[in-house]
Amino acid sequence: MSSNNIILTGFMGSGKSTIGRRLAKELDTYFLDTDVLIETFENMKISDIFEKFGEEKFREMEKRCFEWIKKDVKNTVISVGGGLPVFVPEIKEAGVVIYLKVPFEDILKRMNKEEIKKRPLFQDIEKARELFEKRDKIYEKLADYIIENKDLNKTIEKIKEIMCK
Ligand code: S3P
């Protein structure tokens, strides 16, 4: 992959941003988070974007954000929003895709109230669980590598091993 990007996918709360930030530091490279980018472009929080414009508009923003990444971003660790691979299935065109897989019950244990509040699609736990079941297969299908993210340090080491191959 000529862009040398590492793209982290996974469900909300699976640790993409935490791992991405740490990984980028260890690889001495850059880090991007598509949610943060969109919030910066729009000067609005994701929850406000969903409330004011709706999910469809947010997906358009994600697509635009991905187009920019594909064209202009290189040598960067990128954490993408949990829905991005579903709505932008050509994700592999922008880098090596690594799915950080975490069981839904573990995600629930990790999420605190603040984390849930930020995420419009996590307001109803049963609906989030259904979404997880559907998406897990999509993440797997679109990934170059799947890592069971149980331990932050081990996950980072595994990604480094993959990238050094
Ligand atoms: C979403 C995940 C969120 C954010 C938005 C929608 C989703 O990102 O993009 O709330 O559809 O799964 P995180 O995966 O970083 O929580």
Q: How far is the CA of 165 from the centre of ligand 1 (A)?
A: 30
> What is the full DSSP assignment across 124-156?
SHHHHHHHHHHHHHHHHHH-SEEEE-S-HHHHH
Cβ 20 under 6 angstroms from ligand 1: no
pLDDT tens-place string over residues 86-139: 999 999 999 999 999 999 999 999 999 999 999 999 999 999 999 999 999 999
Whether ligand 1 lies within 6 angstroms of the CB of 121 is answered as yes
pLDDT of residue 129: 98
**Its pTM surpasses 0.95:** yes
SS (H, E, C) 95-117: CEEEEEECCHHHHHHHCCHHHHH
Q: What is the pLDDT of residues 12-22, one digit of tens each?
A: 999 999 999 99
Ligand 1 atom 16, closest CA: 12
Q: Which domains does the chain have, with CATH numbers?
A: 6-163 (3.40.50.300)
Which atom of ligand 1 has the smallest separation from the CA of 131? 12
Whether 82 lines ligand 1, by a CB cut-off of 6 Å, is yes
> Which atom of ligand 1 lies nearest, measured to the CA of 86?
11
CB 159 near ligand 1, within 6 Å: no
The contacts of residue 30 (CB under 8 Å, 6+ apart) are 24, 75, 76, 77
